[in-house]
């Protein structure tokens, strides 16, 4: 046991006496031989899956700490992630199958009973209606690869997860233009336009830290959002009618093309179909968009010119939804955002969009050579 100096002893005594004097509860002394381990793991409180350590004291997780080696959170879990440790021991956490009784209440049943009853029901559905009658719905988690395989094995293509309620429009819209979903070089951006994303509320800690650096370096931040979000406080807030992002982005593309301020060299080198786009975009003028957005035409012109001036370090953030992703026109809004990014020629540029190289993981039936050995030896 470490020896206390007289000075340390007096300090501790002073604190304890002070606490007693004002009636503060005393923190119980931790057992001297507490077994404390830090177990590297992933936070499962959202799909960002930040790298964390579970701090296990005497066999019980007491808190999580960020893993500084993880690229998503750089060692900093968010508030929701920090709450994960208490969710683990929440008395209301479901740990066993439940079945609704005749009185409408839920009662625990054994795993054997659950597997038997659900299996019988599934067989009955397949027999009477065909396997496509099954929809497997879940929140995406680390088991989703298996549940998708299971759904396919059952004979149904209907697996519904997080994507359908969140990022499907963005992924499909951006992939239609770029062939893949790009991410943003937040740290070096000079003009950042966020259609509907609240980066400060819809967490990804490393992106917030990177945009904070860009802001400190003078980046212009413009937020299109019907409400004044936390991010709107970091720059200029432009209130927009719900579902108006598509009209706004088409009008920006219209200005870039009609004023000839798009990145001609980049478009010529990398794009197909520019002539058709230029023809089709003519009717979507800044004046036309006013009815859908409530944003004055002159404001759109001013923003489009600023965006072109800062390009290629100008970005329309794909965000989570690619713009107003949860509306009927969400896919087209995502595609319009991708087109504006392409007109700015920012793909691969510092402060623009970037495509990450794919890791060759193979498939479940066809893993890359050595994958099993590596997994076994990796600890
Ligand atoms: S962003 Fe927060 S909740 Fe999501 S994985 Fe990271 S720490 Fe967990």
Domains held by the chain: number: 3
Q: Are residues 239 and 259 in the same domain?
A: yes
Label each residue of 129-171 as H, E or C: HCHHHCCEECCCCCCHHHHHHHHHHHCCCCEECHHHHCCHHHH
Which of 41, 42, 48 for a ligand 1 pocket mutation test, highest count of atoms within 8 Å of Cβ?
48
Q: Are residues 210 and 262 in the same domain?
A: yes
Instruction: Output the domain CATH number for residue 184.
Output: 3.40.228.10
Instruction: Kindly report the CATH number assigned to the domain that includes residue 57.
Output: 2.20.25.90
CB of residue 125 inside a 6 A radius of ligand 1: no
Query: Strand 183-184 vs strand 159-160: parallel, antiparallel, or unpaired?
Result: unpaired
What local confidence, expressed as pLDDT, does residue 25 receive? 43
In a domain, 373, yes or no: no
CA of 371 to the centre of ligand 1 (A): 28
What is the pairing mode between strands 353-354 and 183-184?
Answer: antiparallel
Contact between 204 and 72 (Cβ < 8 Å): yes
pLDDT at 367: 67
Ligand 1 close to Cβ of residue 345 (< 6 A): no
Which residue's CA is the closest to the ligand 1 atom numbered 8? Answer: 81
The domain of 44 spans 35-93
Asked whether 64 lines ligand 1 (CB < 6 A), one says: no
Residue 206: CB within 6 Å of ligand 1?
no
Q: Does one domain contain both 194 and 211?
A: yes
Q: Ligand 1 pocket: which of 52, 71, 74, 81 to mutate (most atoms <8 Å of CB)?
A: 81
Examine the domain organization and report whether 141 and 268 are in the same domain.
Answer: no
**298 and 313, same domain (yes or no):** yes
The answer to whether the CB of 63 is under 6 A from ligand 1 is no
pLDDT of residue 26: 45
153 shares its domain with 264: no
Q: What is the pLDDT of residue 32?
A: 57
Q: Is the CB of 286 under 6 A from ligand 1?
A: no
Same domain, 220 and 310: yes
Assigned domain for 71 exists: yes
Q: In the numeric block, which tokens belong to residue 196?
A: 């509907």
pLDDT at position 45: 87
Distance from residue 139's CA to the centre of ligand 1 (Å):
15
**Per-residue pLDDT, 13:** 40
Which residues does residue 316 pair with via DSSP β-bridges, in sequence order?
Answer: 193
Q: Is residue 20 part of a domain?
A: no
Is 310 domain-assigned?
yes
Span from the CA of 174 to the centroid of ligand 1 (angstroms): 24
Determine whether the shortest distance from the Cβ of 67 to ligand 1 is under 6 A. Answer: no
Going residue by residue through the chain (379 aa), what tens digit of pLDDT does each one get? 344 454 554 444 444 434 333 444 444 455 556 799 999 999 988 878 899 999 999 999 999 999 999 888 888 888 889 888 888 899 999 999 999 999 999 999 999 999 999 999 999 999 999 999 999 999 878 888 899 999 999 999 999 988 888 899 999 999 999 999 999 999 999 999 999 999 998 778 889 999 999 999 999 999 999 999 999 999 999 999 999 999 999 999 999 999 999 999 999 999 999 999 999 999 999 999 999 999 999 999 999 999 999 999 999 999 999 887 788 899 999 999 999 999 999 999 999 999 987 777 777 677 666 554 333 322 2
pLDDT at 79: 85
The strand ranges marked E within 181-234 are: 183-184, 191-195, 220-224
Closest approach atom of ligand 1 to CA 52: 7
CB 224 within 8 A of CB 196: yes
Residue 330 lies in a domain: yes
| pLDDT number for residue 258 | 98
State if residue 208 touches ligand 1 by the CB under 6 angstroms criterion.
no
Q: Is there a single domain that holds both residue 129 and residue 142?
A: yes
Please indicate, yes or no, if residue 364 is contained in any of the structural domains: no
Whether 15 is in a domain gets the answer no
84, 109: one domain: no
Residues in the chain, total: 379
pLDDT recorded at residue 358: 72
pLDDT of residue 10: 42
Residue 72 resides in a domain:
yes
CB 46 near ligand 1, within 6 Å: yes
CATH, residue 137: 3.40.50.740
**Angle in degrees, 0-180, between the axes of helices 330-343 and 168-178, rounded to the nearest 10:** 40
Measured from the CA of 82, which atom of ligand 1 is nearest? Answer: 7
- Ligand 1 close to Cβ of residue 333 (< 6 A): no
Whether residue 114 is found in the same domain as residue 243: no
Clarify whether residues 199 and 223 are in a common domain.
Answer: yes
88 and 134 share one domain: no
């Amino acid at each position: 046991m470490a020896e206390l100096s007289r000075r340390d002893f007096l300090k501790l005594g002073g604190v304890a006496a002070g606490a007693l004097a004002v009636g503060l509860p005393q923190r119980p002394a931790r057992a001297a031989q507490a077994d404390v381990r830090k177990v590297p793991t992933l936070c499962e409180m959202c799909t960002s899956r930040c790298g964390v350590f579970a701090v296990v004291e005497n066999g019980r997780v007491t808190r999580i700490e960020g893993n500084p080696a993880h690229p998503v959170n750089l060692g900093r879990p968010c508030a929701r992630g920090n709450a994960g440790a208490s969710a683990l021991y929440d008395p209301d956490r479901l740990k066993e199958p439940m079945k609704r009784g005749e009185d409408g209440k839920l009662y625990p049943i054994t795993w054997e009973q659950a597997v038997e009853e659900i299996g019988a029901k599934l067989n009955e559905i397949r027999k009477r209606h065909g396997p496509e009658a099954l929809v497997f719905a879940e929140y995406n988690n680390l088991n989703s690869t298996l549940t998708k395989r299971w759904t396919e094995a059952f004979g149904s293509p209907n697996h519904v997860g997080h994507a359908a309620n969140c990022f499907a429009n963005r992924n499909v819209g951006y992939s239609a233009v770029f062939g893949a979903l790009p991410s943003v070089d937040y740290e070096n951006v000079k003009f950042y336009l966020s259609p509907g994303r609240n980066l400060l509320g819809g967490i990804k800690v490393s992106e917030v830290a990177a945009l904070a650096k860009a802001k400190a370096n003078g980046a212009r931040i413009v937020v299109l959002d019907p409400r004044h979000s936390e991010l709107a406080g970091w720059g200029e807030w432009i209130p927009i009618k719900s579902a108006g992002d598509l009209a706004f982005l088409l009008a920006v593309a219209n200005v870039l093309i009609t004023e000839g301020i798009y990145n001609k060299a980049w478009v010529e080198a990398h794009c197909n179909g520019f002539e058709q786009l230029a023809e089709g975009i003519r009717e979507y003028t800044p004046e036309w968009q006013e009815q859908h957005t409530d944003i004055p035409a002159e404001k759109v012109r001013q923003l489009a010119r600023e965006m072109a001036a800062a390009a290629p370090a100008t970005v329309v953030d794909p965000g989570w939804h690619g713009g107003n992703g949860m509306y009927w026109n969400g896919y087209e809004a995502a595609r319009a955002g991708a087109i504006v990014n392409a007109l700015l020629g920012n793909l691969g540029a510092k402060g623009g969009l970037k495509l990450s190289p794919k890791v060759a993981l193979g498939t479940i039936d066809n893993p890359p050579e050595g994958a099993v050995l590596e997994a076994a030896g990796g600890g």
